[in-house]
Chains A and B, each alone.
Chain A
Amino acid sequence: MSNNASQNDYYILETLDISKHFGGVSAVDGLSISIPRRGVTSIVGPNGSGKSTLINLLSGTLPLDDGIVVIDGQRLRTIHAYETPDHSITRTFQEVRLFDQISVLDNILVVLTTRKFWSAVFERTSRQHRARAQEILEQVGMWEKKDSLAMDLSYGQRKLLEIGRAMALNVNIYLLDEPFAGLFPQMLERVKVLLKDLRDQGRTIIFVSHNMEIVREMADHLIVLDGGKLLLAGEVEDVLNQPEVISAYLGT
């Protein structure tokens, strides 16, 4: 790697020339980006620019066709989804994916319990697990709903619970695919507060969004994708003032 040590330390997540093809279509095409440690990075771009595919690749939800991902100095050619917590990565999905037919509480508890295969058979839900789950559910304002099935929640509550479930994992890198989409203003504020809390704890948040106002308010860094390629990257204000960005996407 050409990066020197200080740069390595500055970036928590880098991709080197990663690609993903679906049939003949390149969803992500030789993309190299670097995401600074700590703070909030937003990924924007028009529909089909590869934002969600990028999140899927980084979280191991889709296999890489080509290229290398560097997570915290560790170079990886393949990322298995079940290893992402070990790499201190977790994610949310564009269309909320909860464990629908189990309770809200169980949705959090399942993230807290042991990953060791055999110990899991002998592990019962401990007081610490419950306390931590209560803490998280109170944070996302869902403690009163703890016994209802996740499928019975409203869209906004589901969105919040999914963020809560990701928070329960206690990792350094959060990949959030459109965390603000379709939310009522009140819920929107709640999500903003949650993300700011995470940021203030020194974690790295990467989120995809279409709402430029929220990006301007929340993000420190901005990555603009187009057609699976990197268009621009940098500090939010710098990027947003570039004429090509303004004309191409933000012209209104």
Chain B
Amino acid sequence: MNENLPGWQRLTGILRDPREALTLSRGNIELWANLLIILCALVFMLLKGATFAVTLTTVFGIWAMLSISLNLVVGYTGLLSVGHIGFFGLGAYTVAILTSTTSYENLRTGEIPTFGWPFFAALPVAALVAGLVALLVGIAFNRFRDDIYVLVSFGFAIISFNVFLNLRVLTRGAFGIHDVARPQIGSWVFDTELELMLVSLVLLAIVIGISWFIVSSSFGRVLKAIREDEQVAEVFGYHVTHYKLAVWVISAMMTGLAGGMFSSWTTFIDPNSFILLESILLVSIVILGGLATIWGSLLGALAFVLLEEGMRFLPFLPQEYVGQARQVVLGVLLVVLMVFRPQGLVGRFKL
């Protein structure tokens, strides 16, 4: 039995010979990690009831979209971006601005017009806006790599937050935007939690589909080669900057899609949802799940959402400390994981 098979393939071997389950091979650790997280999710959902389970799934869908998109850039191409929260915000704000119908009086500029678009018309625009900004930013970013890339993407996160906060004509600043439209097809409005979960999962399926299509193609292999040695990939005839730019834009567009979903789900957004910390949490999810694996990102997002929502129900933890405690636990978890499994839960690669 090959001990290096990825987690799921170990399952057949274990079913044939249960003793194999007890060896401490890589495949087994992955398998147990997979099963444990999924089991936790199921138990948790059962305990807390259907409504809660549905909400949890919606949130999971959004985080999973984000982590898979980011994994394309960080895991497959090796560009460590902490700026993706900017694209998430761009998507969210585009949908919010285009669909909100609440007018807003600005002292200096007078009344701000509302557009009142339907959600499904605004969503593609959100992806396009994120993609367009990514294209412009990416052209500038393409000359950097490694640690400098982290710094410039950090800069992008800061700039985008400040734009959301201060471009009041469009974003209404710290007041935020209310009444973001719920998804709607004809007269069918998706305004129950169950329907929203459906939209979230459909969007997640689209993101998984696109990502899988890319990473399983020759294009995906070139991305990995670029991650390993950009200059050598160039010597073998690949115009590296084009590949980096393309995957950056695609990733940003899918992140924008997730932003649009987020905005419609909460129906209210303000700049505080798009701070740098969220971006760092997102990078943590990707690393925690495993670089360059779509399944790992799904698992990472699930673990993260469980942790985030689950801690709310710890009896000994006062409600007002939940937010901070969450970050402490996630931080500790990340340190422990990096010491024992630097490649993440199911990954094979290190940055």
Say whether B236 contacts A113, CB under 8 Å.
Answer: no
Tally A residues with Cβ within 8 Å of B: 35
Say whether B236 contacts A97, CB under 8 Å.
Answer: no
Say whether A82 contacts B237, CB under 8 Å.
Answer: yes
A117 in contact with B239 given A99-B225, A106-B224, A124-B216 (CB within 8 Å): yes
Residue from A59, A100, A125, A165 in contact with B218 in the complex, judged by beta carbons closer than 8 Å: A125
B32 at the interface (CB under 8 A from A): no
Residues of chain A within 8 A (CB-CB) of B213 are: 121
Query: How many whole Å from A90's CB to the nearest CB in chain B?
Result: 7
Closest to A84 in B: B235
Residues of chain B within 8 A (CB-CB) of A59 are: 235
Query: How many whole Å from B93's CB to the nearest CB in chain A?
Result: 29
A22 at the interface (CB under 8 A from B): no
Residue from A81, A102, A165 in contact with B234 in the complex, judged by beta carbons closer than 8 Å: A81
What is the CA–CA distance of A14 and B243 in the complex, to the nearest angstrom? 32
What is the CA–CA distance of A61 and B231 in the complex, to the nearest angstrom? 7
Closest to A107 in B: B225
Say whether A113 contacts B228, CB under 8 Å.
Answer: no
Say whether A117 contacts B221, CB under 8 Å.
Answer: no
Say whether B224 contacts A99, CB under 8 Å.
Answer: yes
Closest to B292 in A: A101
What is the CA–CA distance of A84 and B224 in the complex, to the nearest angstrom? 21
Closest to A162 in B: B232
B48 at the interface (CB under 8 A from A): no
What is the CA–CA distance of A86 and B227 in the complex, to the nearest angstrom? 23
User: Quick one: CB contact mask for A67-82 with B, threshold 8 Å, 1 for yes?
Assistant: 0000000000000011
Say whether A123 contacts B224, CB under 8 Å.
Answer: no
Main secondary structure of the interface of B (DSSP, over half): helix
From residue 211 to 225 of chain B, which have CB atoms closer than 8 A to chain A?
Answer: 213-214, 216-219, 221-222, 224-225
Closest to A89 in B: B235
Query: How many whole Å from A112's CB to the nearest CB in chain B?
Result: 9
A99 in contact with B242 given A114-B218, A120-B222 (CB within 8 Å): no
A156 at the interface (CB under 8 A from B): no
Residue from B228, B239, B348, B350 in contact with A82 in the complex, judged by beta carbons closer than 8 Å: B239
What is the CA–CA distance of A169 and B232 in the complex, to the nearest angstrom? 13
Residue from A84, A98, A120 in contact with B217 in the complex, judged by beta carbons closer than 8 Å: A120
A188 at the interface (CB under 8 A from B): no
Say whether A82 contacts B240, CB under 8 Å.
Answer: yes
What is the CA–CA distance of A117 and B245 in the complex, to the nearest angstrom? 12
A122 in contact with B217 given A99-B232, A100-B228, A102-B224 (CB within 8 Å): yes
What is the CA–CA distance of A165 and B225 in the complex, to the nearest angstrom? 13
Closest to B243 in A: A117
What is the CA–CA distance of A102 and B235 in the complex, to the nearest angstrom? 18
A117 in contact with B242 given A99-B225, A101-B349 (CB within 8 Å): yes
What 4 pairs across the A-B complex have the smallest Cβ distances? A113-B218, A85-B237, A99-B228, A120-B219
